[in-house]
Amino acid sequence: MQTVKMVVTGPFNAGKTEFIRSVSEIDVVSTERKITSKAEKVKASTTVAMDFGRISVDKDLVLYLFGTPGQKRFDFMWEILSEGMLGFIVMVDSTRPETFREARSILETFRAYAPTPYVVAANKQDLKDAWDLEDMRIALRLDKKVKLLPCVASQKKSVKTILLELLYSILEEMDAAK
Amino acid sequence: MVFYTSILFDAPHATKYNAQLGVYSRIRYESVMALKGNLRDFTISQLLNLINIANKSGTLVVDGSGETVSVSFRQGKLAYAQKSQEDNSLAAILYRAKKINSNQLQSIKMRGNQMNDKQLGLMLINANYLTQKEILVCLQTHYINLLSGLFTWNEGNFKFENDMPPPSDKITVHIGLENIIMEGTRRVKEWEHLQDEIPSLEIALKFADRPGTNIKNISLSVDEWRVVKYISPKNTLTQIARAAQLDDMQMRRIAYGLIQAGLVEFVRSQGVTARPTSISMSIPAANKEEQKSLINRLITRIRSL
């Protein structure tokens, strides 16, 4: 049995757990704790170690999705989770521009861990306060070549598109390396 | 932390509101207790605020990582400051402020043993070389810079020695603390912001392939030029800062400015060993066709979800 993994990362409350939950065939193994910090109390619980989802491809191949903890004080987990990843997805909450700088910083950190392909998912695009994608690209200082994709993490179809785009990027990189 | 809250009333007089009379009355507190602790628990702005409000006189000694800064106050005003690892003589301060050249510095140093700062200042004024105002402005700037530098210290033991005056042979000034506190607070915010943007100086910069700004329209300061000439994926920001004789904050500020201007971008320093790329751990490395086949299987499966 061969296993491959992708990592879903991003700032606190970007929608990483929701994203994995939408496509995982198992109940997401979540290591969530109640939030105690007042500043971060925009939701009731947060991921402290990792989320873990699975998609079986066939009898010989399984894809694991790992969600990283969003709070900075758990960033010691990031490097461990990035080990051996096929690629990664940076989730960004389109309605919270105050998290964009952190998203950029997380992106750079993961690029430093492993220069694997990645895409940026602009989550919560269904909300009225969501930033326009091109504005987000500027704010996140993303090169035009980087895929910045609209996303609604609670919708399976949207999550599928993000995963597929990451896989296409991996294929493109393989072709380019020829 | 060895910080006694009672020192809050260490001022010769504190005030208390008398509700019946509707006025503030002055109270005298007899006991004078040591004001000491750690900047982690009691920040420099809180300390200065206390010294300012309580009109305190004495010397604040702060021990940071390998550095000690002493700052003296008179009646809540800044009077004098010195750093342990620095030449704090008037001659050295004037030289750093480019008011005298290196030959003049050497010549003063040769006679230095017979002359203290006050005598040297008087001699320079009498020789019409510098005015009293010029000397005082240099000293004020130097003292304020030393004190402002403390705002970025997160760690360090402090002790306020009541009634310990500045050294008698040093020239003192009389500067209110309000503006220093405001400027220092702004500096702390800037420092935090720069630390967020550039968390470590163990990274390198490279010139952007297609800079987002028209280079012809950019004018760089002397310090920025000093940084620019060292920019290379081989040099970490720490190395550049050392070569250009910049402190952490100056280095971060310049690097941030150049990044924002689109002139440079981060790159992993070639001197730092990159972690081996992990993709081979997940995908069969031997055969590219096998790798592609695996990705295509994943694509087919995801499409079918």
Whether residue A37 has pLDDT greater than 70: no
Give the rounded percent of residues in chain A with a pLDDT score beyond 90.
39
DSSP label at residue A116? -
* Greater model confidence, B139 or B33: B139
- Give the tens place of pLDDT for each residue, B213-235: 555 566 777 788 788 878 888 88
Q: Is the pLDDT of residue B167 over 70?
A: yes
Question: Is residue B281 situated within a structural domain?
Answer: no
What the block records as the tokens of B210 is: 């297609």
pLDDT in tens, B33-88: 457 788 877 788 888 988 888 888 999 999 987 789 999 999 999 999 999 878 88
Q: How far apart are CA A19 and CA A55, in angstroms?
A: 13
Domain boundary among B143, B173, B193: B193
Q: Are residues B181 and B236 in the same domain?
A: no
**How is residue B78 written in tokens?**
């800044």
What Å distances lie between residue A29 and A20, A50, A163, B140, B264, CA to CA? Answer: 10, 8, 19, 61, 42
Which chain B residue lies closest to A22 (C-alpha atoms)? B305
pLDDT at B28: 41
* pLDDT computed for residue A14 by the predictor: 93
DSSP A9: E
The confidence score (pLDDT) of residue B98 equals 86
Looking at the complex, does the CB of residue B294 fall below 8 Å from at least one CB of chain A? yes
Asked whether residue B288 is assigned to any structural domain, the reply reads no
Q: Which amino acid is residue B305, in one-letter code?
A: L
Most B-contacting residue of A57, A137, A159 (CB-CB within 10 A), to test interface: A57
State percent of chain B over pLDDT 90. 23
pLDDT surpassing 50 at residue B26 = no
Judged by CB atoms closer than 8 Å, whether chains meet at A105 and B283 is answered as no
Percent of chain B at pLDDT > 70 equals 78
Expressed as residue numbers, the domain containing B234 is 198-267
What residues does A123 pair with on adjacent strands?
A93
Q: Kindly state the average pLDDT of the residues B266-277.
A: 49
* pLDDT greater than 70 at residue A44: no
Distance (Å, rounded) from C-alpha A174 to C-alpha B187? 47
Q: What is the pLDDT of residue B20?
A: 45
Which residues in chain A have their CB less than 8 angstroms from residue B281's CB? 83-84
Q: Are B43 and B62 in a shared domain?
A: yes
* Statement to judge: residues B76 and B131 lie in one domain: yes
Pick from A134, A149, A136, A146: nearest CA to A95: A136
Beta-carbon separation of B298 and A167 below 8 A: yes
Helix A156-176 / helix A16-23 crossing angle, nearest 10 deg: 90
Whole-number pLDDT of residue B62: 95
CB contact, 8 Å: A128 with chain B? no
Residue A121 or residue B265, greater confidence: A121
Question: Looking at the structure, do residues B61 and B206 belong to the same domain, yes or no?
Answer: no
Final residue in a domain of this structure, among B132, B159, B193 = B193
Using a CB–CB cutoff of 8 Å, tell me whether B304 touches chain A.
no
Average pLDDT, chain B: 78
Which pLDDT value is given to residue B244?
83
- Please give, one letter per residue, the 3-state secondary structure of chain B: CCECHHHHHCCCCEEEEECCCCEEEEECCCCCCCEEEECCCCCHHHHHHHHHHCCCCEEEEEECCCCEEEEEEECCEEEEEEECCCCCCHHHHHHHCCCCCHHHHHHHHHHHHHCCHHHHHHHHHHCCCCCHHHHHHHHHHHHHHHHHHHHHCCCCEEEEEECCCCCCCCCCCCECCHHHHHHHHHHHHHHHHHHHHCCCCCCEEEECCCCCCCHHHCCCCHHHHHHHCCCCCCCEHHHHHHHCCCCHHHHHHHHHHHHHCCCEEEECCCCCCCCCCCHHHHCCCCCHHHHHHHHHHHHHHHHHC
pLDDT reading at A28 higher than 70: no
In which element (H, E) is residue A101 found? helix A100-113
Q: What is the pLDDT of residue B250?
A: 86
Top residue of A7, A20, A81, A163 to mutate, by most chain B CBs within 10 Å, is A163
pLDDT confidence of residue A7: 92
Identify the pLDDT of residue B140. Answer: 94
- The pLDDT of B291-296, averaged and rounded, is 88
Average pLDDT (A136-151) is 91
**pLDDT tier, B18 (very low <50, low <70, confident <90, very high otherwise):** very low
- The CATH number of the domain holding residue B207 is 1.10.10
The three-state secondary structure class of A96 is coil
Amino acid at A6: M
Domains of chain A as residue ranges with CATH: 2-176 (3.40.50.300)
Given a cut of 50, whether residue B14 has pLDDT beyond it is: no
Q: Which of A27-31, B254-258, B265-269, B299-303 has the highest mean pLDDT?
A: B299-303
Span A29-57, mean pLDDT? 62
Residue B135 and residue B219 in one domain: no
B263 and B171 fall within a common domain: no
Distance CA B193, CA B305 (A): 43
What pLDDT is recorded for position A10? 92
What percentage of chain A carries pLDDT values higher than 70? 80
- Closest approach of chain A CAs to the CA of B282, in angstroms? 5
Given a cut of 90, whether residue B299 has pLDDT beyond it is yes
- Structure token pair of residue A125: 């695009």
Q: What does the pLDDT read at residue A58?
A: 87
Confidence (pLDDT) at B249: 83
| ipTM (interface predicted TM) | 0.86
Express each pLDDT in A100-118 by its tens digit: 888 998 998 888 888 899 9
Number of domains in chain B: 2
Confidence band of B1 (pLDDT split at 50, 70, 90): very low
Whether pLDDT at B22 is above 70: no
Mean pLDDT (whole number) for B111-140: 87
* Statement to judge: residues B108 and B130 lie in one domain: yes
- Residue B66, domain member (yes or no): yes
| Tokens 């604040």 sit on residue | B60
